[in-house]
């Protein structure tokens, strides 16, 4: 299901006047508005294939219908999002949920939608039908070399599939850990995992990156073998220069200062990418920016500053991905909200007067430093985000068009009400 | 599958000498050992029917085989546990996972195993096949009266089934809440829930109790409509004298002082019962006593003291239940460990020199108060727990017998390796 | 030290054009802007007398000079703030830090600054020189009736002093609790505290309110006798209709949903007032809105909605107070930032389209509900806040004038660099 | 004030029979009891000089009298403790709270009490009278090189004093960090700190160690420049092989798995030492083992296992220190309780059947692994701890002798009731 450019233009036309008034006001306030617009225009956030269906918890799942039944339909859905917001031009696949039977076909289909293949994701946290060894007690950490070998080969297979699609990175998230004290040896689990990651790393094409994701808890509830940024950093350092840490916003202990972690990882040249979402308690996988938008802004402040300090290209030198799971929303609407929240935080971070901030820091003027950050954060940057989208051919209000065009009803009538996309 | 008393006696015989040596030492240390043994002998903890299969997380489930295929086999499993430990003589059913088609038969079967029916549990957190209205947006809190009505009727039906089985209490755990700010009106959600609970309460037989369980988060991740003890207390107060708060150890925010909550609820006459488990992060549903055994002891100290202050009978005036979910252990072994941990904590609490503690408190002798608690906690009370079990006809080492008799292998060969019990 | 109205007008004149442009834009967007301006104009936040000096931690205190040396200078400082922002027209005193030797004089001085006396605060968490009994082991909870009596009499004395000043409420924050398991009996501590509060309550003038503040931890680190809203609610209910719960934003366990607590307390008619601050870990006492501004907005959404539902007057029917402690900022600048953050959150909450929100809730349209809240939150309401201040005679930029006039230097040269205000 | 060996022997005589009965029982259960006794006998825990007075919070301090007035009296107090428990034969000094004016004299005095000098502690978190630059905005992280230089020189001076006393390590705890977003550049703060630590490191004698302590929060409440083990590890790695991480049990975010951190740091050869205490919320500085004794046991399990794996000597190859602060207890009694709790946890860890545990881990037998740990933990090891003390000439019940001899009264009568030891 696609939405005609004419349709989008029609919606834009109706909202244009109000938009132009807002934009004009803002351009009068922000001298470097054009630079901000340019950067916003370049920014793309990858959509994970598993976020296109309704997410679930261990207590249940309440799908709303019209979920994509295969990889083609997943790409179609992201194409639709990207057409509306022009900022979702990438997909992050998960194997085995999204095995492409005909990579060339899939690649062409994605290209037709303007979508590239972001990081590939392996899965050693679930057992697949017919799988020889179980991951019940972990994968790369497992005491049994055969299980580890199976997990290593799976990851290498994922790289192979990624190469066929034109992806250039592998995200390794391990649920490995333990549920009870004594269940495993922390040291042996670490050593086994390092050995396994090294074997996978050895198979990585030269221009690829490996992202080692960490997570504090769940589904293991006593220990996690890649449990915090320090552990991920240890692995990435020992692996080599193609290995990086990946930060998922929901994977921390309560009250962690994530922006500081981001800053230090960037400083050490070891930040690889991001999984955006929001949360109140744990890995709640809520819509980006729905709970702690100021934290998101502070993270983007560190990203912008840190990338500038290393002359990195904002749009491409880190992996930007959403990783959310939507229990009570239409998944596509939710993704539109998430991308919007990311762009708003990015735009706000671009408004920060860095020179003034540095000067305030140099004189320990804490009050001024806070004012400078809040000046950027309190600015209503939505007109800039909308303008960047408009210039790229997207919709002033992606959600407005999506609802106006009754997309979900259309998807349900095509795909049925009881389809269930692969994923959690 | 059952284990002969002869078998149990045989195992006991082998371990008796060591046990008697330990018991003799302890009896020399504890003047009121016989009183402790008597109380331990009376104590029974209900097993939830859903804990007999391998638990899962949203990331997967790794069953190990031999799970009970129906209610009869669940009762059989609990019968086996009870025969070993003589302290699990009750089952807590969950509707619709355990609908008894022939209550009289089920009742007789349970009686044959020495098992009574503890609290009935309703389920309005999942949609069942063929169900008219969805609980996606809550049940008793729902904005739509029809949904609420369906949930109310379900609870009344659960009472009816409980009456047929001889149960005398209903546990209402609502997953109602919201995932995002703005999703619902806290006040209306509260009012709707109160109205629904009142209608259910009205159908409660005179000698029944209603337990209103609270939970801080999950599966809703922004708000929970019965989110903490204060909210549960509000509901229970407004409902009437048959309504009580139920405390699940895993349903709190980080660092909550649960023993204080227990103490105050007992003081107010509103503590109804307990769901035992253990956790490090959230509702991890780990084996009782596996993470924070000292907290468990402190909770039992408040239970013993508070029940004594109100002349309540330890064994019967509160609802004692386990609510755990076992991802990496044999569920039956796990339950044996949980019951053992509960009995140990109870025994330790019974050792506390209450007169000396009160005296220390009266003179603000913090050091002495701590010593008194630690004196009880550091005592190795396992011989007392084992002796109480022995006198009741159980096994000195329930786990030892379970393993010695290769119970799991037996269950697998009878029931198959891929059976899956109803539950999470 | 005071700032002439002429001076303020001068600063305003320079900034007027930019302000008017911003305001005009906003008025074009918000149909009920005038109503918002009216409500903002009425809103006053009390300044605690102890926030006028540099706060400290147990590790040290780094005062910056010019702190008020007595109550007169404290009132002078608040007068200065109020002249700038026209929203700080109240002071919350703390006894014995602020004993007014000549109440009539103090009252007249405050009146001259347009300042009224908000809630009086008692202090039973520190020992004062010459005090007969120590509060080392608590005050109202204490096992010794003499200590309790001393604490009760102190509170009654605070009421008496408040009456003389025209205050109409008493805030009772007890640090009572325990540092170690076993140190006290939770039940006896509760009962003693209730008895003490009742005796104080009995001395309350008819038109007075008593605020019972709760706090999860610190300075006691095992238990707190008024530890959460449930306990405060229990006390307030048992005391009577003049007793209310007071919510301090920093007094919760990690991840607590404070806005829900606020909503329920308002529903029950038991919310009395607020202590505003912000925090990341515990009772960090940071500047309001500096860490979690979205949470602050959500709290104000509940306040506005809940007060409207009960026909309460926003400006006067709850006690609005700041309770912060500023380690690294000029305390007066910090208070200006805090008041600004409160007004911004209040203004944003007033922008929420309540009818549309209720409609979205009624149809479980979670996406729309979030959009409605974010529409209000993402709006840059600062021009409205500034305009309300301007109309009341205040400064467009209070902080700008404060710095432009070099107020801190002036205070230092008058009061000295090493003055230390009473407080923490 | 000292206690005669005769006195101690007298007390021991009275308790001997009961002790021997308990010991005999235990020796019958534990084949390697003599090995455990030997290791317990060697173990010494350093007492921090600042723990000898009553600790305080920002809300107040309630000293109980008899606190040491100078370094000599501090050594005397530790000598008294050591005479009772024979396990506190080391002191950890804090500069400038404990500047030894005559090092040779102090050294001789300590030697007379059998006390050696453990890690020296510097202080750059408070301003001292007459100090040129303030640490209000940090020390080694400070934007101003002059402030950093002052802090560096202070640390070098502390090393110098340590050399004179025979200490061999320096603990650097920095409170550096920020209270508000924007206050500092995380990267520059890190770089400045690294530069400063390097300059201090360069002055370290060859056989010395530097311990880089981390802390999640307090007294800074937004960020901490050495905030977690990952950051400390980064610093220690960059500094060199004499630099290590120091773990304080209270310096973590909620729910952190400290035992895993300990295990990994040991594996990497970067664990330097320990600050023991206990806590429920933050850096509560409560008596060791008073809140989470099982966690303490699990940490000791990792310590024993990790040290064995590296052939480290338990007693001397890590720095064992207490870091607690006692608000409501007699500080000396509290230290006796803390040392006892440490020895109990150590003894329990020594009881773990490591071969059986490894075997259980190798077959993923989670239930057995838990049983093995709990078998050790549930054993009442107090008779072993007492016996080790008895053999070393100490008291069977140090607290019993301390109270029996009315030590606190004696100290008060000698030193006065209102003495205040230096410290927090």
Strand ranges (E), D233-315: 243-248, 271-276
Per DSSP, B365 falls in state -
Does C424 fall in a domain? no
The answer to whether position A423 is within a domain reads: no
The pLDDT of residue B64 = 85
Exposure string of B213-225, with b = 16+ CB inside 10 Å and e = fewer, is bbbbbbbbbbbbb
- Structure token pair of residue C18: 């930019």
Q: Computed from CA positions of residues C198, C200, C204, C208, in that sequence, does the dihedral angle turn out positive or negative?
A: negative
Task: Please tell me the predicted confidence (pLDDT) of residue A32.
Answer: 97
Check whether C321 has a pLDDT greater than 80. Answer: yes
Kindly list the residues from chain B whose CB atom is less than 8 angstroms away from the CB atom of residue D333.
Answer: 367
Q: Which residues, including other chains, have CB under 8 Å from residue D191's CB and lie 6 or more apart?
A: none
Binary contact (A223, D260; C-beta < 8 A): yes
- Read off the pLDDT of residues C254-274 as tens digits, 9 standing for 90 and up: 999 999 999 999 999 999 999
Residue A422, pLDDT above cutoff 80 = no
Instruction: Please check whether residue D174 lies inside any domain of the structure.
Output: yes
Residue B188 lies inside a defined structural domain of this protein = yes
**C-alpha distances in angstroms, B368 versus B30, B164, C182, D88?**
19, 52, 9, 21
Residue (of C78, C82, C62, C72) closest to C103 by Cα position: C72
A102-155 confidence digits (pLDDT tens) = 999 999 999 999 999 999 999 999 999 999 999 999 999 999 999 999 999 999
Judge contact between A216 and A224, C-beta under 8 A. yes
Distance CA C79, CA C237 (A): 37
Is residue A355 a part of any domain in this protein? yes
Contacts of D319 (CB under 8 A, 6+ apart): D46, D118, D119, D169, D171, D209, D211, D246, D272, D273, D274
What is the domain-level CATH number for residue D189?
3.20.20.150
Residues D354-390 have pLDDT tens digits of: 999 999 999 999 999 999 999 999 999 999 999 999 9
Q: Using CA atoms, how far apart are residues D422 and D68, in angstroms rounded to an integer?
A: 9
D351 within a domain of the structure (yes/no): yes
Smallest Cβ–Cβ distance between C228 and the set B186, B230, B301 belongs to: B230
Q: How near does any CA of chain A get to the CA of B249, in Å?
A: 15
Q: How high is the pLDDT of residue A58?
A: 87
| pLDDT at residue A54 greater than cutoff 90 | no
For chain D, what is the mean pLDDT? 96
- State the SS3 of chain A: CCCCHHHHHHHHHHHHHHHHHHHHHHHHHCCCHHHHHHHHHHCCCEEEHHHHCECEECCEECCCCCCCCCHHHHHHHHHHHHHHHCCCCEEECECCCCCCCCHHHHHHHHHHCCCEECCEECCCCCCCCCCCCCCCCCCCCCCCHHHHHHHHHHHHHHHHHHHHHCCCEEEECCCCEECCCCCCCHHHHHHHHHHHHHHHHHCCCCCCEEEEECCCCCCCCCEECCCCHHHHHHHHHHHCCCEEEEEECCCCCCCCCHHHHHHHHHHCCCEEEEEECECCCCCCCECCCCCCHHHHHHHHHHHHHHHHHCCCCCCCCCEEEECCCECCCCHHHHHHHHHHHHHHHHHHHHHCCHHHHHHHHHCCCHHHHHHHHHHHHHCCCHHHHHHHHHHCCCCCCHHHHHHHCCHHHHHHHHHCCCCCCCCC
Nearest CB to D328: which of B22, B25, B366? Answer: B366
Taking the C-alpha atoms of residue A216 and residue A218, their distance in angstroms, rounded to an integer, is 7
The predicted-structure confidence for C172-219, as pLDDT tens digits, reads as follows: 999 999 999 999 999 999 999 999 999 999 999 999 999 999 999 999
Task: Read off the pLDDT of each residue in C275-301 and give the average, rounded to a whole number.
Answer: 97
The mean pLDDT value of chain C amounts to: 96
Residues D341 and A80: their CA atoms lie apart, in Å, by 63
- For B127, which DSSP code? P
Q: Kindly provide the ipTM of the predicted complex, given to two decimals.
A: 0.97
Polymer length in residues for chain C: 424
C144 DSSP assignment: S
Place of tokens 């008020």: C68
Find out whether C193 and C140 touch, Cβ atoms under 8 Å: yes
Secondary element (H or E) of residue B400 = helix B398-404
| CB–CB contact D280 B329 (8 Å) | no
How distant is the Cα of A255 from the closest Cα of chain C, in angstroms? 6
Give residue-wise pLDDT tens across range A189-229.
Answer: 999 999 999 999 999 999 999 999 999 999 999 999 999 99
Cβ of A219 within 8 Å of Cβ of B59? The answer is yes
In contact, A68 and A112? CB cutoff 8 Å: no
| Chain C residue numbers touching D134 (CB-CB < 8 A) | 62
Residue D420 confidence (pLDDT) above 90: no
H-only helix segments in D30-144 = 33-42, 71-85, 103-112
Q: Are C105 and C134 in contact (CB under 8 A)?
A: no
Dist CA B301 CA B373 (whole Å): 9
H or E element that contains B9 = helix B5-29
Query: C236: Cβ–Cβ under 8 A, 6 or more apart, which residues?
Result: C212, C243, C244, C245, C270, C272
Inspect the interface and report whether the beta carbons of C370 and B179 lie closer than 8 Å.
no
pLDDT at B418 over 90: no
Per-residue pLDDT, D344: 98
Tokens of C408: 């801190």
What pLDDT is attached to residue B326? 76
Picking from B330, B351, B370 by the largest number of D CB atoms within 10 A of its own CB, the best residue to mutate is B370
The mean of the pLDDT values for chain B is 96
Q: Could you tell me the end-to-end alpha-carbon distance of chain D, in angstroms, rounded to an integer? A: 24
| Farthest-apart Cα atoms in chain D, separation | 66
> How far is D296 from D250, CA to CA, in rounded Å?
12
Answer whether C382 sits within 8 Å of A382, measured CB to CB. no
Tokens of D127: 């301003």
pLDDT per position as a tens digit, D98-111: 999 999 999 999 99
Within 8 A of C134 by CB-CB distance, chain B residues are none
Distance from CA of C59 to the nearest CA of D (A): 6
Instruction: Give the single-character DSSP code of C313.
Output: -
Between the alpha carbon of residue D13 and those of residues D7, D20, D85, the distances in Å are 10, 11, 16
Given the structure tokens 């002969």, which residue do they identify? B4
B248: pLDDT strictly greater than 80: yes
**Could you read off the pLDDT of D58-82 as tens digits, one per residue?**
888 898 899 999 999 999 999 999 9
Contacts A287 to C, Cβ<8 Å: 370
The CA-based dihedral angle spanning residues D114, D119, D124, D125, taken in that order and rounded to the nearest 10 degrees: -80
Evaluate whether C219 touches C125 at the Cβ level (below 8 Å). yes
- Disruptive mutation site among B348, B367, B379 for chain D (greatest number of D CBs within 10 Å): B367
Domain containing residue C336: 5-415
* Residue whose structure tokens are 């969805």: B134
Checking if the pLDDT of D422 tops 90, the result is no
Note whether residue B104 is domain-resident: yes
Per-residue pLDDT reduced to its tens digit, C73-113: 999 999 999 999 999 999 999 999 999 999 999 999 999 99
Provide the H-helix boundaries in D128-257. Answer: 145-165, 186-202, 229-239
Report the residue of chain B nearest C365, measured CA to CA: B183
**Measured on CA atoms in the order D56, D59, D63, D67, is the torsion positive or negative?**
positive
In the block, tokens 């468990």 appear at B296
Tell me if B365 is assigned to some domain.
yes
| pLDDT of residue A418 exceeding 90 | no
| pLDDT higher than 90, residue A178 | yes
**Which helix H or strand E contains B157, and what residues bound it?**
helix B145-165
Q: What are phi and psi of B121, to 5 degrees?
A: -115, 130
The residue-averaged pLDDT of B4-19 equals 97
**In this predicted model, what pLDDT tens digit does every residue of D217-260 receive, in sequence order?**
999 999 999 999 999 999 999 999 999 999 999 999 999 999 99
Strand partners, C211: C171, C244
- C145: closest CA of chain D, how far (Å): 19
Three-state secondary-structure class, residue B245? strand
Which among C180, C185, C366 is the nearest to B183, CB-wise?
A: C366
Residue A326 has pLDDT above 80, yes or no: no
Mean pLDDT of all residues in D4-9? 96
C229 pLDDT above the threshold of 80:
yes
Residues paired with C319 in a beta bridge: C273
Inter-chain residue contact B182 with C361, CB threshold 8 Å:
yes
Kindly tell me if the per-residue pLDDT of D325 is higher than 90: no
Q: Is D92 strand, coil or helix?
A: strand
pLDDT confidence tier of residue B322, bands split at 50, 70 and 90:
very high
pLDDT in tens, B366-410: 999 999 999 999 999 999 999 999 999 999 999 999 999 999 999
| Strand (E) or helix (H) holding D221 | none
State how many domains chain A has: 1
């Amino acid at each position: 299901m696609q939405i005609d450019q004419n349709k989008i233009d029609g919606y834009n036309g109706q909202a244009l006047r109000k938009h132009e008034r807002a934009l004009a006001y803002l351009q009068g306030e922000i001298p470097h508005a054009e630079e901000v617009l340019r950067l916003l225009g370049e920014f793309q956030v990858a959509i994970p294939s598993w976020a296109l269906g309704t997410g679930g918890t261990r207590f249940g799942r309440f799908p709303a219908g019209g979920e994509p039944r295969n990889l083609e339909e997943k790409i179609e859905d992201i194409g639709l999002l990207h057409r509306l917001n022009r900022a979702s031009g990438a997909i992050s696949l998960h194997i085995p949920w999204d095995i492409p039977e005909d990579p060339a076909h899939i690649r062409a289909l994605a290209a037709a939608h303007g979508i590239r293949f972001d990081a590939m994701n392996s899965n050693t946290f679930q057992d697949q039908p017919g799988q020889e060894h179980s991951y019940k007690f972990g994968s790369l950490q497992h005491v049994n070399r055969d299980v580890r070998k199976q997990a290593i080969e799976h990851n290498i297979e994922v790289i192979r599939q990624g190469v066929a699609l034109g992806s250039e990175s592998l995200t390794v998230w391990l649920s490995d850990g333990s549920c009870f004290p004594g269940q495993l040896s922390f040291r042996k689990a670490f050593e086994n995992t390092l050995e396994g990651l090294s074997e996978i790393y050895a198979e990585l094409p030269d221009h690829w990156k490996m992202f080692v994701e960490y997570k504090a808890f769940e589904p293991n509830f006593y220990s996690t073998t890649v449990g915090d940024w320090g552990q991920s950093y240890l692995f990435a350092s020992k692996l080599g220069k193609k290995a990086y840490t990946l930060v998922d916003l929901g994977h921390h202990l309560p009250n962690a200062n994530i922006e500081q972690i981001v800053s230090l990882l960037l400083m050490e040249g070891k930040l690889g990418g991001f999984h955006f979402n929001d949360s109140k308690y744990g890995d709640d996988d809520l819509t980006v920016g729905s709970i702690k938008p100021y934290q998101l802004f502070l993270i983007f402040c560190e990203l912008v500053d840190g990338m500038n300090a290393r002359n990195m290209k904002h749009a491409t030198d880190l992996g930007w991905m959403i990783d959310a799971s939507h229990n009570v929303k239409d998944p596509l609407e939710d993704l539109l909200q998430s991308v919007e929240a990311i762009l708003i935080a990015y735009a706000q971070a671009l408004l920060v007067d860095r020179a003034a901030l540095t000067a305030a820091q140099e004189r320990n003027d804490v009050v001024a430093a806070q004012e400078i950050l809040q000046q950027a954060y309190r600015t209503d940057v939505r007109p800039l985000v909308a303008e960047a989208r408009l210039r790229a051919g997207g919709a002033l209000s992606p959600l407005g068009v999506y609802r106006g065009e009754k997309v979900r009803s259309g998807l349900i009538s095509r795909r049925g009400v009881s389809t269930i996309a692969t994923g959690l």
